């Protein structure tokens, strides 16, 4: 599996597509273990230094923190809400089927269903 170099990775994080030779890496990045954690980190961490500028506003500390929270909390909410929309978009833009965005959840649901049916057979 070919992984991207630093420049390619930065471009990928900002929305660019990678060459087809790295499609295995893209699929693992978008659907593998830790995919949601990586997605959240890519969206939520880079804005923190920018939001910290609110701490320079004169006045009590709670004012700067409140201004940060007014922007950061909705960002967290919408980032979490749009995780599957983003994942589907990235999969389609790299030439994969959009259903792969839900592959891990489907496997987990199938395993739960099989375990349930084994415990409670139809009689």
Can you tell me the distance from the alpha carbon of 79 to that of 76, in angstroms, rounded to the nearest whole number? 5
Can you tell me the distance from the alpha carbon of 43 to that of 50, in angstroms, rounded to the nearest whole number? 13
Task: Please give the C-alpha separations between residue 77 and each of 57, 73, 104, in angstroms, as whole numbers.
Answer: 25, 6, 22
Q: Which of 82, 8, 98 is nearest to 39 (CA)?
A: 82
Query: What per-residue confidence (pLDDT) applies to 46?
Result: 95
pTM greater than 0.85 (yes/no): no
Q: Could you read off the pLDDT of 34-85 as tens digits, one per residue?
A: 999 999 999 999 999 999 999 999 999 999 999 999 999 999 999 999 999 9
Question: Nearest 5°: CA angle at 37, between 24 and 22?
Answer: 15
């Amino acid at each position: 599996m070919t992984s991207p170099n630093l420049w390619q990775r930065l471009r990928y994080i900002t929305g660019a597509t990678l060459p087809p030779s790295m499609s295995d890496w893209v699929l693992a990045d978008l659907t593998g273990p830790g995919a949601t954690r990586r997605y959240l980190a890519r969206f939520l961490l880079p804005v923190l230094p920018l939001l910290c500028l609110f701490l320079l506003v004169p006045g009590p500390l709670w004012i700067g923190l409140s201004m940060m929270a007014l922007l950061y909390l909705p960002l967290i909410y919408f980032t979490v809400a749009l995780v599957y929309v983003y994942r589907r978009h990235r999969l389609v833009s790299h030439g994969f089927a959009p259903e792969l965005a839900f592959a891990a959840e489907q496997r987990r649901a199938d395993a739960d269903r099989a375990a349930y049916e084994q415990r409670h057979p139809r009689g």
